[in-house]
Amino acid sequence: MSTENTAPAAPSNFIKAIIEDDLKTDKWGGRVHTRFPPEPNGYLHIGHAKSICLNFGVARDYGGKCNLRFDDTNPLKEDVEYVDSIQEDVRWLGFDWDGRCFYASDYFERIFECAVALIRKGLAYVDSLSAEDIRAYRGTLKEPGRNSPYRDRSIEENLDLFMRMRAGEFPDGAHVLRAKIDMKSPNVVMRDPTLYRIRHAAHHRTGDAWRIYPMYDFTHCLSDSFEGITHSICTLEFENNRELYDWVLDALGMYHPRQYEFARLNMTGVVLSKRKLIKLVEEGVVDGWDDPRMPTICGFRRKGFTPESIRDFCERIGVARSNNLVDYALLEHCLREDLNARAPRVMGVLKPLKLTIVNYPEDQTEEFEFPFHPENEAMGSRKLPFCRDLYIERTDFLENAPKKWFRLAPGMEVRLRYAYYVRCVEVVKDASGEVVEVRCEYDPATKGGWSNDGRKVKGTLHWLSARHAVPAEFRLFEHLFLTGGAAANVDDPEAAAASLNPNSLETLRGFVEPGLADAEPGWRCQFERTGYFVADTKLTRPGAPVFNRTTGLRDSFAKELQKG
RNA sequence: AGGGGAGUCGCCAAGUUGGCAAGGCAACGGGUUUUGGUCCCGUCAUUCGAGGGUUCGAAUCCUUCCUCCCCUGCCA
């Protein structure tokens, strides 16, 4: 399935331990069958990727299956747009449900029958309390609840009412179907949980066929059971719901998968709450779900991340039961490791500064060979034009250089990558004192960017011929929030505004080498010395490329400077 | 007057029956380098939330305590 030559030994985790143990004891007849069960009410984010990699990953590793199942029981929040995006993202991540894409809504009739069976067993009843009363009767975390006055309706009456609920005879909220369990249970989930509610709403798949919709707790265990799931893996917040999961299946005497919970992913610098992400989209704080600043799968995709790097990340963070906060730097590390090996090296100048070679013939042009990957000859090379008028990076020149500076400065000599050594002989400034051009002399004996005379030239600069470079736009991204991660407050408008990073998107107008004029949308590369980039899939046009910075290169010099 | 979980390096995280505390990220040193990138080498937990106990021996067993997370939707 994947290459294992570079991958470190996969860390074991408790889910795998359970599966291996089950395989050993033949608990499920040798089967491993998981499922990834998103609700189609938003786009998938990096936290979902952890769950996807876990569920599809163990199925793959142990010769089992993993279903994609949409948990679509709440027509008010769900939409086909989300269904489509979820399928696209799971596929992009590299997983295949092998035709087993299911919907909880496909089971509505069977689920309804289960509810009827529960009523017949005297284990469910129609409650006619208002929502507020139900809440009041439920008690508190420390105090037991009380029985609803409708709890002892006869089976016949319950059946009649439930059928009429289905028939649409009652308005929303008039009745609910509840499991008859224990209003004094220390586990609040078990205090006669709601199984069905009335919702006169069109469902994105079943249309107007239903006026009642089953709740998550009732739907999920039954769906798992219908599909023959063996290991039902979910996140920690469903731990309390496991008791109900088991109760429903036992009450009905049905095939009974086991639920296991793991800790969801938290990461520095990003918000991973669906509710908050929706808000960012709806309020126009970002461009949409696939804004490169979003921690969504499609956001990372548009930013230039590879599915391989995300899978590697999910492998490395491990799966455990303790709350965690993973450093964003780990994701970046996985990305760089992948891109370093695959991304062709090309030239781009983000913040151009004119460099004129005063002793180079005015009308002369020559070409130099540039390999696409210095460490991988197989990736080939191309020639780039050189002339008297060049662009270099503005940040590569400093009039008053600090101690360890080995880029360009007055009197200093640097190497222009694969071309010549040049020495700065003059600085041209505009009226405001800003440097607008540096003038240099080149050494013809250093053609190709090398000299055998033992001269030590520590700095190597990337450059572009000003006469041949093509204009390009570069988009640099930073975290959306200053305060970082889970702490970001999206609900309080003032706090949200204060925590928003005003520089999360910076657009630069620079130049790229001629061959990149018609860069294919989605094409990834490394602009030497600056970072990994991808041609934006929405904004790039033939002759007018737009590049998103996927991530910068590691920069030990920046650290050096900070230290002073 | 609750119930369910979790505490191992700055961040993740292994540690199956007690027997020398894996690995990754980050950080920090050094080497190589026509990318201040990559790569290579090295450093980085006498201690596992705290105390007590059992034991020749405890992150692992017992015990008391502390901290954090989840649960009172007709959301999932």
C1' of nucleotide B76: residue with nearest CA: A216
**Would residue A549 show up in a list of annotated catalytic residues for this protein?**
no
Check if residue A465 sits with its Cβ under 7 angstroms from strand B. no
Check if residue A559 sits with its Cβ under 7 angstroms from strand B. yes
Q: Residue A145 burial (CB < 10 Å; 0-12/13-18/19+)? A: buried
The C1' atom of B41 and the CA atom of A7 lie apart, in whole Å, by 21
What whole-number distance in Å separates Cα of residue A414 and Cα of residue A398? 13
- ipTM reported for the complex, 2 dp: 0.97
Q: Residue A250 burial (CB < 10 Å; 0-12/13-18/19+)? A: exposed
**Would residue A303 show up in a list of annotated catalytic residues for this protein?**
no
Q: Of the residues A258, A264, A316, A342, which is catalytic?
A: A264
The C1' atom of B39 and the CA atom of A5 lie apart, in whole Å, by 17
The C1' atom of B16 and the CA atom of A60 lie apart, in whole Å, by 24
**Would residue A274 show up in a list of annotated catalytic residues for this protein?**
yes
Count of helix runs (H) and strand runs (E) in chain A: 14, 25
Judged by C1' against the alpha carbon of A341, the nearest nucleotide is B38
CA dihedral A537, A539, A540, A546 (to 10 degrees): -100
Q: Of the residues A50, A274, A301, A549, which is catalytic?
A: A274
Check if residue A318 sits with its Cβ under 7 angstroms from strand B. yes
Phi, psi of A129 (to 5 degrees): -70, 155
Judged by C1' against the alpha carbon of A74, the nearest nucleotide is B75
Residue ranges of the alpha helices (H) in A470-553?
493-499
Strands (E), A444-530: 460-461, 463-465, 470-477, 505-512, 524-527
Residuewise pLDDT in 10s, chain A (564 residues): 333 333 344 458 999 999 999 999 999 999 999 999 999 999 999 999 999 999 999 999 999 999 999 999 999 999 999 999 999 999 999 999 999 999 999 999 999 999 999 999 999 999 999 999 999 999 999 999 999 999 999 999 999 999 999 999 999 999 999 999 999 999 999 999 999 999 999 999 999 999 999 999 999 999 999 999 999 999 999 999 999 999 999 999 999 999 999 999 999 999 999 999 999 999 999 999 999 999 999 999 999 999 999 999 999 999 999 999 999 999 999 999 999 999 999 999 999 999 999 999 999 999 999 999 999 999 999 999 999 999 999 999 999 999 899 999 999 999 999 999 999 999 999 999 999 999 999 999 999 999 988 888 999 999 999 999 999 999 999 999 986 544 555 566 666 677 889 999 999 999 999 999 999 999 999 999 999 999 999 999 999 999 999 999 999 998 888 776
Diameter over CA atoms, chain A: 102
What whole-number distance in Å separates Cα of residue A309 and Cα of residue A333? 9
Type of residue at A260: Y
| Domains and their CATH numbers in chain A | 14-264 (3.40.50.620), 274-305+474-563 (2.40.240.10), 348-462 (2.40.240.10)
Q: Of the residues A16, A20, A31, A39, which is catalytic?
A: A39
What whole-number distance in Å separates Cα of residue A196 and Cα of residue A187? 20
- Residues 6 or more apart whose Cβ sits within 8 Å of residue A336: A532, A551, A553, A554
